[in-house]
C-alpha cells in the first residue's frame, strides 16, 4: 500500500451455516442522509376531531414510504461483487446473481426479495427510525415528526433522494428537511496489490475462501477518508452469518472464534502490506 492509503473496518466475511462463503473487501460504501418529516397543525380539543390531524398526515406519509422502493441498479463495485458471488453461490440464485451483474431488472427483483442485504446493495433505502408528536392526551396534535434514515448509493444525489421522497409522500402538509451532514466519498480503486495481499492472507488462514470487493450498505469512517482523497480499504477477517445479521440490535454479537481469527488475520495482513512479513 502507499503511505497515503488507509486500512479500515467495514468489510467482513460472509458465512452460511458455519461455512465461510467469502471474505469481503470494502472499496466503497453508501452515504447517509437523515431527513426530518414534520407536520404542524393548529390543533384543538380531542372531543372535536377533524380529518386534518398532524399525526394522520405523518402516518399517511410513512405508510406511503413503507410501500416504496428506490430503483434497483448496480455500479462498478456491486457489479464486481455479484459477478464473484455468482461463481461462489451453489443455490438456485446463482444464475440470478450472474444476471444481476449483467443488468437484468427481473433478476435484481428476485435477488432483492431473497435477502435484505442484497436488497440494500442494489438500491438506496429510506426507513423511519424515530417518532414524536402530540402534546396532551386530550388535545388534537399540533405537531408530529419522524426521522427518516436513508442509506444512499454513491451515484444518487441528495437532491434526487429528497425530491423522490416529496413525490412519494405526496402531501404538502408534510415538510421534509435534511438533518446534519450528507458527505460522500468516491470509491477506492480495486488495486491488484491490495487484493493480492488480502487474498494471500485469507488463503493462508481459510484455504479456498475467495476475496470479494464490496460496497458496504451502511457507513464507516472510510467515507470521510475517501472524501479527503485517501483511498481506503475495509477488511476485518470477522465472519458474520449472512442469515443472522444483528448490527445495532440489542443482541448484537459475534462468534468467539471469529473474533480471535479476525485478530490473527489483521495482524498478518498489516505485516504483509507493510513488507515486514509474508
Q: pLDDT truncated to tens, each residue of the chain (278 aa)?
A: 666 788 888 888 888 888 898 999 999 999 999 999 999 999 999 999 999 999 999 999 999 999 999 999 999 999 999 999 999 988 788 999 999 999 999 999 999 999 999 999 999 999 999 999 999 999 999 999 999 999 999 999 999 999 999 999 999 999 999 999 888 888 998 888 899 999 999 999 999 999 999 999 888 888 889 989 999 999 988 988 877 777 777 777 778 888 899 899 999 999 998 886 65
Right CATH number for 6-30+185-274 from 3.40.50.2300, 3.40.630.10, 3.40.50.720, 3.40.140.10?
3.40.630.10
Residue range(s) in the chain whose domain bears CATH number 3.40.630.10: 6-30+185-274
CA distance 217 to 127: 14
Residues near 117 by Cβ (< 8 Å), separated by ≥ 6?
A: 217, 242, 245
Sign of CA dihedral 80, 69, 108, 159: negative
Placement of cell 479527503 in the chain: 228
Second-level CATH architecture of 32-179 = 2-Layer Sandwich (3.30)
Dihedral of the alpha carbons of 220, 222, 224, 229, in degrees to the nearest 10: -170
Domain boundaries for CATH 3.30.70.360 within the chain: 32-179
Amino acid at each position: 500500500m502507499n503511505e497515503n492509503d488507509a486500512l479500515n473496518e467495514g468489510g467482513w466475511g460472509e458465512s452460511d451455516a458455519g461455512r465461510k462463503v467469502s471474505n469481503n473487501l470494502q472499496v466503497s460504501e453508501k452515504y447517509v442522509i437523515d431527513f426530518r418529516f414534520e407536520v404542524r397543525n393548529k390543533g384543538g380539543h380531542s372531543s372535536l376531531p377533524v380529518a386534518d390531524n398532524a399525526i394522520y398526515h405523518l402516518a399517511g406519509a410513512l405508510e406511503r414510504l413503507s410501500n416504496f422502493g428506490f430503483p434497483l441498479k448496480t455500479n462498478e463495485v456491486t457489479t464486481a461483487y455479484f459477478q464473484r458471488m455468482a461463481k461462489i453461490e451453489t443455490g438456485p440464485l446463482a444464475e440470478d446473481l450472474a444476471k444481476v451483474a449483467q443488468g437484468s431488472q427481473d433478476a435484481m427483483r428476485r435477488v432483492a426479495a431473497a435477502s435484505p442485504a442484497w436488497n440494500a446493495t442494489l438500491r438506496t433505502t429510506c426507513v423511519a427510525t424515530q417518532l414524536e408528536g402530540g402534546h396532551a392526551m386530550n388535545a388534537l396534535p399540533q405537531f408530529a415528526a419522524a426521522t427518516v434514515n436513508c442509506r444512499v448509493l454513491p451515484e444518487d444525489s441528495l437532491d434526487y433522494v429528497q425530491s423522490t421522497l416529496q413525490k412519494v409522500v405526496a402531501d404538502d402538509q408534510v415538510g421534509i428537511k435534511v438533518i446534519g451532514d450528507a458527505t460522500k466519498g468516491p470509491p477506492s480503486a480495486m488495486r491488484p496489490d491490495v487484493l493480492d495481499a488480502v487474498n494471500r492472507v485469507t488463503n493462508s488462514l481459510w484455504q479456498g475462501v475467495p476475496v470479494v470487493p464490496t460496497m458496504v450498505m451502511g457507513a464507516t469512517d472510510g467515507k470521510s477518508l475517501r472524501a479527503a482523497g485517501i483511498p481506503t480499504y475495509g477488511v476485518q477477517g470477522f465472519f458474520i452469518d449472512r442469515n443472522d445479521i444483528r448490527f445495532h440490535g440489542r443482541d448484537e454479537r459475534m462468534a468467539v472464534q471469529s473474533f480471535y481469527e479476525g485478530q490473527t488475520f489483521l495482524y498478518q495482513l498489516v505485516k504483509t502490506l507493510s513488507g515486514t512479513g509474508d
